[in-house]
Amino acid sequence: MAFRDLLSETLRTLGAHRLRTALTMFGIAWGIVSITVMVAAGEGLRVGQAKVAEQFGKNIMIVFAGRTSLQAGGTRAGRNVQWRAGDHRVVQEQSPSCSHVMPELGQGSTPVRSAYNNAALLVTGSLPPFAEIRSLEAAEGRYPNWDDEARAGRVAFLGSDAKKQLFGSRPALGETLMVGGWRYTVVGVMAHKEQDSSYDGQDINKVFVPFGAVLRDFPNKPPSPPDSVDRLIAAPRSLEVHEQCKAEVRRALARLHGFDPRDEEAAAIWDTVDEAKAFRVMTDGMKYFLGAVGLATLFIGGIGVMNVMLVAVRERTREIGVRKAVGATRGSIVRQFFMESVIVVFLSGGLGLGAAYSFCGLINLMPMPPFFAGLLPTWESGLLASALLGTVAVLAALYPASRAAAVDPIEALRYEAGG
C-alpha cells in the first residue's frame, strides 16, 4: 500500500471514531502540558529567586567575629574575637583569590532628621566598592566615592524607603540631614530593590555613609574598642576560587587575632555562593519532581492510546480478516495500526506543546511576585517532552499493531462483533 493511501485510510478510520480519538488525544496532550508547565514553573521559581538573591549581594562572603572554640598559641578557647578597622587591608594583601575585602560598621536605630520628617534608621559605613558587591544601584546621584572616603566626608546615600520617610516625593539630592546630631549632605538615592535575606535589615531602610565618617562619628561603645568593626565583606575573583578566597580570609584573620584557622566559630562566614548552590539543588529537585508528575501523566495517556488501539483491533477483526484474505501482508497491517497510533500521539503532542507554550505566554503577561520570574519553558523541557512522546508513540503502537497482524484470516472472517 502506498504511503498516501495508507495515510488517507488511517485518517478516515480515526475520523470514523471522533469521540474516541479526541479523548485519547486529550490524555496525551494533557501529559505534554503537564510536563512543560510544571518544568517551566520550577525554572521560573529558580530564576526569580536567583535574581532576588543577587539583590542582596553578588557572590559575597560576610565574615563575623565570634568566640574561639579551639586553643591556639597557648590561649584558651572561649576568647572573644573582634575585627579592627585596619584588618581589611592586611587580609586583602594575604588573600590573592579575593577581589575585595572591606570592613562594615553599622549604627542601629539612629535618629535621622530632614527638614520635613524624622526617622530612626540604620546607618552603615563601608568602602566605595561596597555599592557594587552589595547591589546598591543609584536611582539618583551617586554612592560615596574614594574622595569622600579619603576626607571622611559627611555625605549620605539613602535607601529608597529611607528617602520616602525623610522627604516623601520631594527631591533629596543636595539636601541636608541631621544624622545622630551630625550634619550630612545627601549625594545619592538608591533604586528600589527586593531583598529576601539580610544580616541587619533591609538596605532600602538604611543610610550609607563613608566608612571613615561612621568610624569617627559613631564609634563602637565600650567594652568594644572604638576602632572595632561589625564584620568584614569579601568577594572572590571568580566562582572557581571562592573556596580559596574563604580559606585565605580565615587564615589571614587567624594570624592577626591569634586563633586556629580551622576554628569556624571564631570567624563565622556566611557564604552566599554556597547558599545559592544549595538553593539550586532544591529548585532542581522540585523541577524534576514536577517533571516526573507530568511524565507519569504522559505514560498514562500512552496506556490509554494502547487500550484504544487494542479495542480498535478487536472491533475491526473481520475487516482485518478480509484484507488478509485478499492478499494484505502482515507488514501492511502492522504499518496501518502503527501509523494510526503515531498520528494520534504526535498530533496530540503537538497540540499539547502549543497549548503549554501559549499558556506560559499568557501567564507571563500578568504581574509576577518578586521571587517568581513566571512560567519559563526551556528548550530542554521541549526536547524531553518530544523524546518521551516518541517513546510513548512506539510503545503504544507496537503491541496493538502486532496483535492486528497476528489475526488468523479464517477465524477473523468467522468473527461476529459482540460475539
With residue 399 as reference, give the H or E element that holds it.
helix 379-405
- Measured CA distances, 84 to 136, 226, 410 (Å): 25, 9, 98
For the chain, the average pLDDT equals 82
pLDDT band at 62, cuts 50/70/90? very high
Peptide bond into 96 cis (omega under 30): no
Higher pLDDT pick, 238 / 7: 238
pLDDT band at 4, cuts 50/70/90? low
Distance CA 267, CA 74 (A): 19
Most trustworthy range by pLDDT among 191-205, 326-340, 373-387: 191-205
Give the pLDDT score at 419. Answer: 47
Q: Give the 3-state DSSP-derived string for 63-101, with helices as H, strands as E and coil as C.
A: EEECECCCCECCECCCCECCCECCHHHHHHHCCCCEEEE
Q: HSE of 298 in the Cβ direction (CA atoms, 13 Å)?
A: 30
Asked if residues 184 and 156 have their Cβ atoms less than 8 Å apart, the reply is yes
- Name the amino acid, one letter, at 153: G
Most trustworthy range by pLDDT among 146-160, 217-231, 383-397, 402-416: 146-160
- Name the amino acid, one letter, at 383: L
Q: Is the pLDDT of residue 3 over 60?
A: no
Higher pLDDT pick, 278 / 315: 278
pTM flag (> 0.85): no
Residue 146 exposed, middle or buried by CB count within 10 Å (0-12, 13-18, 19+): exposed
Give the domain ranges of the chain: 3-54+277-414, 67-265
